[in-house]
Amino acid sequence: MNEHIENALEQFRNQSARYRRSNRYYAGRHDLSFATEKFANTFGDLFREFALNLCPAVVDVVRDKLRIRGFGIQRIGERSPEPTAEAAADIRAAIDRFWRVNRMAIRAGEVHKEALKNGDAYLIVWPGDGGIRMFPNSAESCTVHYNENEPGRIDWAAKYWRDGDRRTRLNLFFADRIEKYRSTRKSDGLLPEAKDLVPMASGADADGGGEALENPFGIVPVFHFANNADIGSFGRSELEPVMPIQDGLNKSVLDMLVAMEVCAFRQRWAAGIEIQIDEATGKEVSPFNAGVDRLWVASNADARFGDLGAADLEQFLKVKDGFRLDIASVTGTPLHYLMPQMRGFPSGESLRKAEARFIAKVRDRQELFGSVWADAVAFALRASGWGEVAVTADWEDPAPISEREALENLKLKRELGISAEQVMREAGYGDVDIREIRKGERK
């Protein structure tokens, strides 16, 4: 029995419930465990899947700040000095090429969303037709095993899926090979047992599979994006602390709906009138039908009419907003993202202070995900024949300053003696534009 197959299947089964739950909550399919019998009797199935879903806001606000601008070249080879401008330009051109071919400008955002939503996401990099191929994978379809002696180093990885014949496929990725397996039985749901997975026969099938492949690059070609993870472990979803609060928020809204239906309408009462009895049923007959075009009249001069006050729904709104505040508190999400109707901040400085914790979290995710992207791109360069190249991910600033502030900063740098060429370069001008500007200044 293949020990790696058993371990991979066990990890898939252990993690599947967690991933399914975070996927459900992001999609708005919540556990309405607080829905009361009164709610069920009042609304039936009308609001069976009701949810005031704030989970996407918690994930998407971080994802929107994670945008890769490109990759910097640190060195070529393990001991070589800093690369020349020409060599660095050639490598950047190669990176831009396979980044564009694989549509990673869009798919990188999908990887970040998956990692933030479920805690884990994966990227498989391998040479293919037309060059390097980069395949983002969901948390449910892949898993990795970290070396216990060297935390952070992946010993092996696994990916499973079902082919067109409803059989389970499993690939095991090692630093020196890729093993391919297929189940002997068809299945639409549960994972097979390890004994049911047999090595793929030689030759290719309809899904492009075949026998085991040699991995000449010495690195497991599966890259793990673990969100907010401990050393050498799986990540944690951004929704993990949100889901219990989300349940409470749904409860408060459901209670408000019941109150609106039962208590918000002003109940009328009458006293001193004669009530008739239905002879057929023996039940009392209501003497009046309410309506804007109806008049209530009683023959008894002592009859009295009135109404009961409506329920005050303001407390329900305060409770609902309190849960929004709790979500902002436990996740570091700025409150104005969860309550867009709140009053704006008086100044840009106040806004920056309010987002300080959130921006710190975004920068932490940039460091964490950036190291994985750098490893993946370095592997892609090695597989393309560039050898050992160390790269770094270059991110967009998650807290950009205004154009006016940027110009003031550049002016200050010029006054401090920084060259005009450097100041213009930081302002976004290219070398050609700078030469033309300087040429015009000399005329």
The pLDDT of residue 343 is: 62
Q: Supply the pTM of this predicted model.
A: 0.80
Report the alpha-carbon distance of residue 53 to residue 194 in Å, rounded: 39
Pairing of strands 167-173, 213-214: unpaired
The pLDDT of residue 220 is: 97
What's the CA angle centered on 30, arms 366 and 327, to 5 degrees?
45
What percent of the chain clears pLDDT 90, i.e. is strictly above it?
46
CA atoms within 13 A on the CB side of 257: 21
Q: What is the mean pLDDT of residues 362-370?
A: 96
pLDDT surpasses 70 at 39: no
Grouping H, G, I as helix, E, B as strand and the rest as coil, residue 434 is helix
Partners of residue 434 on adjacent β-strands = none
The pLDDT of residue 160 is: 95
- What is the domain partition of the chain in residue ranges? 3-149+229-240+362-394, 266-309, 403-442
pLDDT surpasses 60 at 304: yes
Largest alpha-carbon pair distance within the chain? Answer: 110
pLDDT surpasses 60 at 203: no
131-136: long-range pairs with CB below 8 Å, 24+: 131/97, 131/98, 131/101, 131/384, 132/98, 132/101, 132/102, 132/380, 132/383, 132/384, 133/102, 134/98, 134/102, 134/104, 134/107, 134/376, 134/380, 136/107, 136/110, 136/111
Residues 348-365 have pLDDT tens digits of 667 777 788 999 999 999
pLDDT surpasses 90 at 102: yes
pLDDT bucket at 206, cuts 50 / 70 / 90: very low
Q: What is the mean pLDDT of the chain?
A: 84
pLDDT bucket at 374, cuts 50 / 70 / 90: very high
Other beta carbons within 10 Å of 82:
11
What percent of the chain clears pLDDT 70, i.e. is strictly above it?
83
Report the alpha-carbon distance of residue 426 to residue 10 in Å, rounded: 52
Which has the higher per-residue pLDDT, 145 or 306?
145
Report the alpha-carbon distance of residue 121 to residue 224 in Å, rounded: 6
Most confident of 104-113, 204-213, 428-437: 104-113
Which has the higher per-residue pLDDT, 401 or 326?
326
The pLDDT of residue 79 is: 60
pLDDT surpasses 90 at 168: yes
Other beta carbons within 10 Å of 183:
21
The pLDDT of residue 311 is: 66
Most confident of 105-114, 321-330, 432-441: 105-114
The pLDDT of residue 235 is: 95
